[in-house]
Structure 1
Amino acid sequence: MRIKTHLNILIDIPREIRDEIYEYAFQTPFNCVTYRCTLSNTYKILPHDPQNDICLSDSSLPALGLLSTCSQLYNEAIISLWKVNSLGLWPADLPFRMGDLGDDTFIHVQSLQVNLDLTDPDDLKWAEMLFLRIGGNSGLRNERNEGESWSDLKKVQINPMRTEEIKMDVKWMQRVSEAMDLRWKSEELFTGMNPDADKSWGLYTRWMELLRRAGTSGNDIYLGDGVKRSVSVNTAWDDWVYWDQNEWLKKSPHGAGVKRMEEVMKDFSETFGGELWANGKLCYKDKERLKRVFELKPVELLGVYPTVSE
């Protein structure tokens, strides 16, 4: 009797087990990957930290070799790659840094993480281009037509406030300061009460209108009925004690307090919809607030009080 010595993954292992193997092989530290172009004008898929916008390695995932073995393994494994990983990018990545990739590259992407810089008007234009590219075919995607770009997309998450790699609290909260300043300027512009206001002060309002269009059916950039929308906010606020929070509020732009900070979160929720997560906690869902993002800690939770000068 001939003894079988080689395991054939496609014959000897059930599909359900094969899928588990693929998913394990494609796992990355942040469940996120991105594309990077090499000097030879080819693209690598690299493990990605979306909060810091850095690639964790210069080498492609070793398991990507599965995609170049045979067509059946490719067709099975590519689904698992994008089942366990989001695609992380900036709005400008698709038309520029990833511009040479064909539209069919993204057919199996199920989750997208988009970093945003609210202070950059160019980012606003590129975000509109990105959402138009994704949402422009949302009707076709909802009909599940084969071969359409982004046909497997199930979730889009925007990251407007990120922790970033530099471990400095002032940097972590800088994004909040920027958003509040932008919001104040938009209010000043549209009330017409500030003689110094100019058209550039309307940037915040334009961002919110863009997010509203992406989250509301009937618009050219609507992401689609079957696509979950999420906002991820990460700040140092929850790690601060009362005195740190209070000191930061004293220096906040235009004397804005916790209420004004929360209004920015409400704006994100009411325009983009879906869920808003802050520091790992679900705070808004379907435009309803479940808990505040910014809560001032009570003094009595402190064990130590600042020294009072005599």
Structure 2
Amino acid sequence: MPYSLVSASTLGFDLVRLSSGRQVADVLLTGLAADGAALDSLAAHHPGPARTSAERSAAAVRGRKARELAATAVPQLRTGDFGAEPGTGTDGVDRQEALVALLERSTIGDAPTLERLLREDVLGPDHIGMAVSEEHVRDRAADVLADAALAFWAVDALPPVVFRDLVAPFRAATSAAPLTAPDLEADLGPSSAVVHELLAAVRGLDGVGRGRWRVAVDEVRELRRPWATAMHEASWAAHVSGRTRTLAASQLLAVQAFVDGGFTASDGALGAWNALSGCVQGLAMADMLDEQSLAVLLAPWTMLN
């Protein structure tokens, strides 16, 4: 399934279950927020210009091999796969446990769709910084971001030396100067303040707080079908109002808050991510949603307050 900024919640579902998904979110947020100066800095740390022709050719080969590894590094979630798990049944507890195990380690998207998202959506035609930058700057900045995103995505499968080679330019650029626009986290739409209040609360959770979230998730499971409809309505509202990129940034910040708050891949698989993502979606688009959709999306947060 291809990723898109419109369905950033789906991307978030995958990222919270990857060991370095938080870092992937950081790369994507950097791309979303980058202005012309930030793109210049990223491009300046591209290793290509300083290499000889032979070195560039060797690096290109390593890059292709790394992408081949990344493309198969994480199992893909396929309908019905859990039924084929060895040692499990087709119904009852065994089937449920197999499904949870599959959800913990498998993704909906993959590395190639992640790179396409970064190059074509995050850094696409609607990106203001890309529009004012020269072509070689755009290309080099995109390479630096794409290499880092893929390396973090497949960190558990890549040889350490390859991983370090791919992330080094991004780390050097972000160490040289803060690249995320100062106002990115402050500009999340009309409901920015309440979205940040939610994310701050999640980042600060302790064991008791996470337990309360898990209880709330269990208690609103019957809302699953109207939840999906409400999420779609909010995504469509963001699209027609020109706020898709802002909503995507909110979801990526939620990925970071989810991880910082101590939630695990298992929590993500069992519904805690969907609960948080729905709350973010509802708060961010509250001014354009009907009361019923808003109530469904905010149900876990309402229970906790």
Tell me if both proteins adopt one fold, taking TM over 0.5 as the criterion: no
Report the structure, 1 or 2, having the larger strand content. 1
TM band (smaller chain): under 0.3
In the superposition, the TM-score normalised over structure 1's length comes to 0.23
- The structure with more radius of gyration: 1
TM-score, normalization by structure 2: 0.23
